[in-house]
Structure formats: C-alpha cells, structure tokens
Amino acid sequence: MTPNLRQLWRNIVIVILALSFVSLIFSFLLEDGGARAEELTMNQVVDRVNGGAVQKITVQGNSLSIDLVGGGKATAQKEREVGLTETLVNYGVKPDALAKVALSVEDEGGWNYWLGILVPTILPIILIVILFSWMLRSARAGASQAFSFGKATIRLVAPSKDRITFKDVAGLKEAKEEMEEVVDFLKNPKKFLSMGARIPRGVLLMGHPGTGKTLLARAVAGESNVPFFHLSASEFVEMFVGVGASRVRDLFQNAKKAAPSIVFIDEIDAVGRERGTGMGGGHDEREQTLNQILVEMDGFERETNVIVMAATNRADILDSALLRPGRFDRRVVLDMPDIQDREAILKIHAKEKPLAKDVNLNQIAVRTPGFSGADLANLMNEAAILAARNGKKEIVQLDVLNSIEKVLLGPARRSRVITPHEKRVTAYHEAGHALVAASLADADPVHKVSIVSRGMAGGYTIKLPLEERRLRTKKQFLTDLAVSFGGYVAELLTFGDITTGSSNDISQATELAHRLVTQYGMNETLGPRSFGKQNDLIFLGREITSGKDYSEEVGAKIDAEVNRLIVNAVALAKKILTRQKRTLKSIAEHLIEKETIEYEEFNALMKTAKLKPMTIS
Ligand code: ADP
Ligand code: MG
Ligand code: ZN
C-alpha cells in the first residue's frame, strides 16, 4: 500500500469511530432518564389518569412528560395539532379524574426546544462536514507531496557549526588541490574570467566506495561559502517517469538563480550508465534524467557561475556523453589510501576518542592494506565499541587490532557449534594455507592464523604485504594460487577427503587464474592479448551487445590454460605439504588447542621447522 492510500484508510477508520462515538452520545442525551421514564401509549396514559395514578402532565409540543403519583416518571406522545385535553377526552378520560391532574403547557419555542431539534440534526452534519473536509485536505496534501517530488529531496547545504572542511579529509592530495581550485573559481570568478579562462563546468569524482567522494564534496561545500545543492542520483530511479527530469530542471534553475553555486550529484552512475544497452528494460526514467542533466549543462553561458560536481565509483560504465568536453571534463580520481594516508585517516577518526598511550596508529596502518577511508572510520568505531563493551575508560591497541578482523571478516562467532572433527578439519585447512604461504618466498608474511569462525569463514589466515605495492608480478600471482589451494590440499592429505570449506578458495583461485590468462597475458600459449571485454563481468549489458571477441578455438585454449595454472598450483601445494607433514601437524595441533596463532608465535614455529622458503621457477 502506498502511504497515501494507507492514510486514507486511517482517516476513514477515524471518521467511522468518531461517528459512532457521536451517535453513542446522542443516544444517551435523548434517552435522558430513559431508565426511569417509561414510554407510554395514549391509551395507557388515559388508563393511569382514570386510575388516579397521575399527578401532573407537562406538555411540550407533542411530548408529554408525566409525573406519576409516588414519584415515578413517564413520557408519551400525543397526536399533532390536537390539544391535550381534547386528545385525552377522545381516548375516553373521565373528567373528574382529569380534574385531579395538574396540566401545564410549556413554551414550545424555548431554548430547550430548539436545541432538542437542532442538536440531533445539525450537529452530526457539521461534524461530518468537518471530518470530510479534513480528510480531503490531508488526501490533497498527500497527492501534492507526490507531485512535488521535483523539489522535495534537493538538499541545500547551509553553513552549520559542524561543517566539514578540507581539514577533515586526510590524504587525497591531488583531489583536494583540484577542489581548492574549484572553490577559488567560485570565490573569485573575475580573476579567472579576465584571463580568458573558461570556468570548468563539471568535475567528476571517481573512486572506489568509501574513498571519501561524498566527504570531499561536503568539504567543498564547507569551504566555499556558496550555496551547495546536493542530491543523490539513485533517488531518481525510484520515481515516476518524468519526475526525474523535472527535478533536474528545478535543481539547475535554483542553482543558476543562486549563482555562484555548486550542484553536487552523488552516485551519478545510477542515472548515467551507458544508454541503449537495454539493461533494466531500457529504464526511461534514467535516460530522461540523464538527458536533462546534459541539456542543462550545455545550456550554461560562459559566465554562468555554477559548477557541477558528480561522484561515482563506476566510471567504467558511465555514458560517454557525460564525459565530453564542456560536461564532466575534469575528472578527479580518489585513490585507495596508502600507508601514510591510512595513518592520517585513523588520526582524524581517533580525534574524539580517548586513546591509551600504547595505541600506535602507524602499526594499525601497516596492518590494514586495502582498507578504504570508510573501513578505517568503521575500524576506529568498532574499537571504541569494543572498549566500551569491556567497561574500559580508554581504547587500547589490542581493541583496535582485534577490530581489524571484525571489519575484514565480520564479527567472531565463537558461539557457533562445531563438532570436534570439524574443528580438526578447519585447523588443518588453515594450517595448510599458512604453511604454503610460509614456504614460498614471494608470499606475503603470515600475520595471523585462526579457526575462530568469522562471518562466513570457518577460519582465516591473514597475510600482509611488507610494503605497499601497485604492481604485482606473475610469480606473486602463482604463489597466491598455490596458497589458496593450501587448505584444500591439506584436507586431502590429512583426511583423504575434502569438505565444502574450500569452495570460496576454489572460486577465487579460478577467477584469478582466468584473469591471468585473459587480462594480464600471464600464460604460455596465447601470448599478451586480452580476451573478452574487460568489463563484461562488471556490466552485463555490454556483454550482451558486444559478445565475445574471440573464437571458439581460442575459448578452448583459454580453458586449457586456466586449467593448467590450477593443476600446477595444486601440485605445488601438494609438494610443499607432503614434505612438511610434521610441521603441518604441529601448526594444526596448535590451532586446535589455542584457536589463534599470532605473528611471533607462527614465526617461532617456522624456525623450529627450519623452513627454507623457495621461489617459483
Ligand atoms: P564514498 O562517497 O566515496 O563512498 P564517503 O565519502 O561516504 O565515501 O566516505 C565514508 C566515510 O569514510 C566518511 O564519512 C569518512 O568518515 C570516512 N572517510 C573516507 N575517506 C576519508 C578520508 N580521506 N579522510 C577522512 N575520512 C574519510
Ligand atoms: Mg558516497
Ligand atoms: Zn581456505
């Protein structure tokens, strides 16, 4: 049910309740004393008069109220237009009996009389009219809400006390410089215009989720003292057809009126994905909205002092029309934070938290490669929660370290019931990963092995690179492949059987092997060629239209190459673990006993095993 319909129903129920309440009240009012006053027919009245049981009759219009001898009361109705005495006589009352009864006639036009007539008839009408007009009004308000979507959710950011500035954004040096320029443009447009420079139209912020795109845009709003119109493109998609375009029109109209100003469209990929791919049934709303954005941006004059900013984490699927000159021609990439940035981000999010002296944010930064800014913010929050839950006054280093795994893999599930056998299998599985990693020179050092179940994983092995790397080598990839089969092979060697616990390892390894062959040219028979559109996995719509760019024969060769990589990786893992069966056992037994092995302990175990890491040839 839509909210409007629900509201209508609620109103109807209220009206019905109110009406029954009113009628209840009237039934009480009209039956005033109904319990005591008996309703008599004229015949009965006459009988009582003849019997001498009546003391007094009061006439009011056609109603008689009768005081009986001995205190009782009764009512009766006489015929219209006929006097009381006449009626009584007509019914055969005895004149001498009537003489004993006091008759009094009350004025019909009295206040009471009119009230008696008006209240029961007019009051309900008035009530109904009031209720219906109220219902109508709220229904109309609901309808106009639906029709004024165009204006409803554009947020104009007003400068507030807790405004975000560039100081709150760590790292992102180039992006911040670019944004500072934008702010400068808006503050001193003359400076740039007099040099003949064209004010940039659109700035596109691109980066992985959580790298701080929205944050940076909000910082721009905080820095520039110009109106900042903010809306999220994903909101368009859920609206009626045509509303998105009208909302865009509104937005730009307001922005132009308020110039100099900034329009920020968050998550523009929701409307800006490549058109004409037939994805999502050719979502008309999306296309119309996108077209309207383009039309508005083209309609800017040279002097128009409105800068359009947009954010996306899917620049690969954006419609090329958005990226043409004069539109989003400035593109700013927000990188995942490197080790220094991570420390800086951690510092920002540690600011309002009580940290113990032993907290070393640099060590945390070392241990969190691949974490985005959002992950790091979340990490500090989890650490604070952990400390608070343990009733501590300060956050200690261990709180932060323990939160890393929580952010990485989900909360620990110590309560999950596993049988002793499952525990053994998991222990050997993780020991297998760890031992293969420790045996290969190109593998990242093992930081932690654990069989505490987290999120979906039964256990986990954390390996961390010694240094930040942008480029990865074929040898490293082959090592990764062997390590991912370490668990599978360890189970096979130890128990002569395999479990479903390896399914995730297998699918990841297969995907990696496929990428090595089809994207990185790391294969032996096919050479340095890319196969298939790079983003066909990401965006289904394109694959449908473009199809494979290789023959069936080549497809078979790709399969063979992927297979070969996997077979070799399994063989390598098997070779290592067969040779090191004793070490595998000692790691696994350790895990069964303690559940978790930390870095130092693991290194000590490896020392006693006299392991000599080898390189893949
Ligand atoms: P995006 O829009 O790129 O997905 P957000 O801007 O919403 O990411 O970032 C989410 C949160 O992560 C921010 O609110 C902030 O707390 C934190 N964050 C991300 N990047 C940074 C950064 N560079 N400096 C400080 N905090 C950051
Ligand atoms: Mg965002
Ligand atoms: Zn595994």
How would DSSP label each residue in 568-582? HHHHHHHHHHHHTHH
Mutate to test the pocket of ligand 1, among 162, 215, 361 (most ligand atoms within 8 A of CB): 215
Half-sphere exposure of 448 (CA within 13 A, CB side): 13
CATH code of the domain covering residue 310: 3.40.50.300
- 67 and 93, same domain (yes or no): yes
Give ion ligand 2 contacts, CB < 5 A: 214
From 49, 73, 108, the end of a domain falls on 108
The SS3 assignment for 155 reads strand
pLDDT at 388 over 80: yes
Angle, CA 459 vertex, CA 350 and CA 384 arms, to 5°:
15
Percent of the chain residues topping a pLDDT of 70: 85
* Residue 464, in any domain of the structure: yes
Pick 588 or 146 by higher pLDDT: 588
Minimum mean pLDDT among 23-37, 206-220, 422-436: which range?
Answer: 23-37
* Residue 575, in any domain of the structure: yes
Q: Report pTM.
A: 0.65
* Beta strand 330-334 pairing with 202-207: parallel
- 515 and 467, same domain (yes or no): yes
* Residue 369, in any domain of the structure: yes
Taking the centre of ligand 1 as the mean of its atom positions, its distance from the CA of residue 424, in whole angstroms, is 41
Q: List all residues 6 or more positions away from 433 whose beta carbon is below 8 Å from its beta carbon.
A: 449, 461, 483, 484, 486, 487, 490
* Structure confidence at residue 195 (pLDDT): 84
Atom of ligand 1 nearest to the CA of 169: 24
Please compute the mean of the pLDDT values over residues 141-146 and round it to a whole number.
48
- 528 and 588, same domain (yes or no): yes
Mean pLDDT of the chain: 82
Pick 1 or 511 by higher pLDDT: 511
pLDDT at 543 over 50: no
* Structure confidence at residue 159 (pLDDT): 55
Please compute the mean of the pLDDT values over residues 243-253 and round it to a whole number.
82
Residues 163-187 have pLDDT tens digits of: 888 999 998 888 899 888 888 888 8
Query: Among 376, 311, 344, which Cα is nearest to 166's?
Result: 344
- 363 and 452, same domain (yes or no): no
* Residue 113, in any domain of the structure: no
- For the chain, the C-alpha Rg in angstroms (whole number) is 42
Residues 407-421 have pLDDT tens digits of: 888 777 777 777 889
Minimum mean pLDDT among 228-232, 439-443, 546-550: which range?
Answer: 546-550
Q: Are 39 and 75 in contact (CB under 8 A)?
A: yes
Residue 146 confidence class, pLDDT cut points 50, 70, 90: very low
* Residue 294, in any domain of the structure: yes
Minimum mean pLDDT among 187-201, 342-356, 523-537, 588-602: which range?
Answer: 523-537
CA–CA gap between residue 127 and residue 22 (Å, rounded) = 9
Q: List all residues 6 or more positions away from 247 whose beta carbon is below 8 Å from its beta carbon.
A: 149, 150, 151, 153, 154, 231, 236, 239, 289
Pick 495 or 269 by higher pLDDT: 495
The total number of structural domains in the chain stands at 4
Answer yes or no: 430 catalytic. Answer: yes
How would DSSP label each residue in 274-300? PTTS-GGGT-HHHHHHHHHHHHHHHT-
pLDDT at 145 over 70: no
CA–CA gap between residue 274 and residue 545 (Å, rounded) = 12
Atom of ligand 1 nearest to the CA of 168: 25
Taking the centre of ligand 1 as the mean of its atom positions, its distance from the CA of residue 321, in whole angstroms, is 28
Minimum mean pLDDT among 168-177, 325-334, 490-499: which range?
Answer: 325-334
Residues 527-537 have pLDDT tens digits of: 888 887 654 44
- 215 and 362, same domain (yes or no): no
Minimum mean pLDDT among 40-49, 140-149, 155-164, 580-589: which range?
Answer: 140-149
* Structure confidence at residue 46 (pLDDT): 82
Report the sign of the C-alpha dihedral through residues 67, 72, 75, 76, in that order: negative
* Residue 126, in any domain of the structure: no
**Which residue CA neighbors atom 1 of ligand 1 most closely?**
210
Which CA distances in Å does 314 have to 26, 142, 260, 269, 310?
A: 68, 36, 29, 6, 12
- 216 and 174, same domain (yes or no): yes
pLDDT at 519 over 50: yes
Q: List all residues 6 or more positions away from 346 whose beta carbon is below 8 Å from its beta carbon.
A: 361, 364, 365, 376, 379, 380
Q: List all residues 6 or more positions away from 547 whose beta carbon is below 8 Å from its beta carbon.
A: none
The SS3 assignment for 151 reads helix
Q: Which of 430, 468, 543, 598 is catalytic?
A: 430
- 589 and 558, same domain (yes or no): yes
Give kind and range of the element (H or E) at residue 204. strand 202-207
From 309, 334, 359, the end of a domain falls on 334
Domain of residue 309 covers 155-334
- 300 and 352, same domain (yes or no): no
